[in-house]
Amino acid sequence: MRNKRRDGIRVRGLDGYHNILPYVMPKRTEAEVSITDQFDVTDLVKYMADRNEKEGTNLKIFHAICTAVARTIYHRPRLNWFISGRTFYERQDITLSFVVKQKFDDAGDETLMFLKVEPDMDFDSISKLILGDVEKVRKEKSNDLDKLMNFVGSLPRPFLELFFGTLSRLEYHGVMPKALTAGDPNYSTVMLANLGSIGSESCYHHLSNYGTCSFMITIGTLHKEQKLMDDGTTQERDVINCTFTLDERLSDGFYNAKSLRIVKYLLEHPEALAQEIKEKVPVEL
């Protein structure tokens, strides 16, 4: 059994319960848990609008959520674990992936994006990274992963069955070639779907048994709701719903619920997003 993969280090010291979970539930899709939470982003919307106007930035809600999630993962390492070959591994990098639509219509092509987040990044640098890569992809119309998928997808069915059967064995033994995983969202820490950008609400999204990605987030539309405040009054607030799907073999509900507190704090205290990913978040866990 391999103690280290190119993309992860084997987790040791687990109790018997966790050691047998990959045998009781060998597939990631058998171990999904999902929760939808609502975040009050009124202050965040004001913060971004003010900075965008005064400083010429192009901060967006999606960038803020990516930043909050990345920082949470940095301080809650189990969210960056995965199971492969019935063995627990801790990923060595925090990586985000999402889909970019070339055009917002039914026939618009989709391109998969893959971003690595460094510990010294913050809201601004992550925003610039996302905007730069999206602009590049839309200008070039595709990336290397698209070209690879187009080639593989053109193969006859028997070759596809042999190809993916071989990949399954390579993944089980932790020896997948980097050329086949680099930039693949199925090998990211978390995949995000910004459904709000197409006017849709957040929804449950399944995980995949292919690859190692064990964390999925869908983001709904920014909208207004009447909220009961601490002083007993009601106010119209900007809110957004996000649905989180995770592999429960890696972290239980108690761990995940505490992790969500960090996401909520960061989205409701936008000034904290300006701090580096590695900075501790003042949330009592």
Give 226-239 pLDDT, tens digit per residue.
998 888 899 999 99
Query: Does the pLDDT of residue 101 top 70, yes or no?
Result: no
Contact 182, 143 (CB under 8 A): no
pTM above 0.85, yes or no: yes
pLDDT at 142: 58
Average pLDDT over the chain, rounded to an integer:
90
Query: Does the pLDDT of residue 106 top 70, yes or no?
Result: no
| Mean pLDDT lowest among 19-23, 41-45, 67-71, 183-187 | 183-187
DSSP structural state of residue 77: G
Q: What are residue 157's phi and psi, to 5 degrees?
A: -55, -45
Q: What percent of the chain has pLDDT over 90?
A: 72
The pair of structure tokens assigned to 209 is 């048994």
Q: May I ask the CATH architecture of the domain 4-14+26-274? A: 2-Layer Sandwich (3.30)
pLDDT at 107: 46
**Whole-angstrom Cα distance, residue 273 to residue 231?**
27
In the chain, domain spans: 4-14+26-274
Query: Does the pLDDT of residue 180 top 80, yes or no?
Result: yes
pLDDT at 5: 87
